[in-house]
Amino acid sequence: MYRAENYPSKVLQNAVEAISSLPGIGSRSALRLALHLLKQDKEDLLRLSSSIAALGSEIHYCKECKMVSDSDLCQICSSPKRDRNLICVVESVRDVMSIEATNSYNGLYHVLGGIISPINGVSPSDLNIRELLARLKPGMEIILALSGDVEGETTSFYIYRQIEAYGVKVSTLARGLGFGDDLEYADSLTLGRSIEARRPFKP
């Protein structure tokens, strides 16, 4: 929309270009955000800019589970309250946060840092799979909590083949109709799978 020679200021242009490199933010939104930031206090701008720079310089990854952390061992891995015989394998940091927000899981995690995807050039060696194998001990339970699409299923299967010899119990998330869902609005794939995977009724 605005050609370079139309920018009244190189400083403004640099900010717009950097902001529009963020996913989901086009050049028009980036300009709107930059003009908003122009009106803010210097302290607010510094708080924003230094918190972004800190993502590059101050963030750590837990040496055990590869979760983002402020130190070399994350809060979860260092907590004495956690069940150390239970590891939930997830794709990303966000998945850990989502599961933690449920308050219904008390084990450890392992963040793969991605999912096997030939189309995106992600192979098993790009993921934290070797680090997972190093954590396994006989008698542990490993929960494969990856997404239900083809790539997630492929990754689950690949990991299952890698870990089955370690004497661990492997489980996966329950899938079916959402709790409280009406049958009327369920897609037929989910409904069909929910019938196949029916469970004993516990009154």
Site string for a second copy, 84-103 (x = CB under 8 A): --------xxx-xx--xx--
Contact 144, 172 (CB under 8 A): yes
Residues touching a second copy, count (CB under 8 A): 62
| Out of 26, 27, 63, 70, the residue judged to bind a second copy by CB under 8 A | 70
Contact between 104 and a second copy by CB under 8 A: the answer reads no
Structure-block tokens of residue 1: 């929309």
Site string for a second copy, 17-46 (x = CB under 8 A): xxx-xxxx----x-xxxxxxxx-xxx-xxx
24-39 per-residue burial string, b: 16 or more CB within 10 A, e: under 16: eeeeeebbebbeeeee
Q: E strands, the chain, where?
A: 60-61, 68-69, 83-90, 107-111, 141-144, 169-172
What is the binding site for a second copy (CB under 8 A)? 1-3, 6-12, 14-15, 17-19, 21-24, 29, 31-38, 40-42, 44-60, 67-70, 74-76, 92-94, 96-97, 100-101
